[in-house]
Amino acid sequence: MSAAWYQVKDNKLTLTLHIQPNAKRTEVAGLHGDALKIRIGAAAVDGAANAELLAFLKKAFRVPQSHITLKHGASGRRKVVEIEGSTVPPETFLGSASK
C-alpha cells in the first residue's frame, strides 16, 4: 500500500515530508505536492527542528525513537523518514490536518 507521500514495505513505512520550521506548534498541515507537510514548532537551528520532528513522529506513530530514521534531508525542508514497526496507518494524518 502506498500514496505519493508514503510507502510501506517489509514492516517499514517511508514518509516524504515537507517541513515548515518556526511554526506556532507542531502539526500536520496537509499535502504539499507529493509530500506530507508538517509545521514544526522549533527553529531550524542546531538540529532543533529535526529533533522536534522525530519526537512528533515517535508519538504519532507510537514507536520508540530508535525505530525512526531520518534517511535524507537533514539540512533541508524536504525530508525522507523511515519508521519501523508502526501499526498506525499514515492516512490518519490527512484527516487530522487543519486547513
CATH of the domain at 44: 3.30.1200.10
In this model, does residue 94 exceed pLDDT 90? no
Give the whole-angstrom CA distance, residue 21 versus residue 62. Answer: 23
Residue 95 lies in a domain: no
Question: What is the domain extent for residue 62?
Answer: 2-80
pLDDT of 98 reads 45
In this model, does residue 99 exceed pLDDT 90? no
Taking CA atoms, 2 is separated from 21, 40, 92, in Å, by 26, 24, 13
Give the whole-angstrom CA distance, residue 62 versus residue 59. Answer: 5
Q: Number of folded domains in the chain?
A: 1
Residue 72 lies in a domain: yes
Measure the CA dihedral 36/40/25/3, to 10°. 10
In this model, does residue 97 exceed pLDDT 90? no
pLDDT of 11 reads 93
In this model, does residue 31 exceed pLDDT 80? yes
In this prediction the pTM is 0.90
Residue 86 lies in a domain: no
Provide mean pLDDT across the span 82-86.
Answer: 96
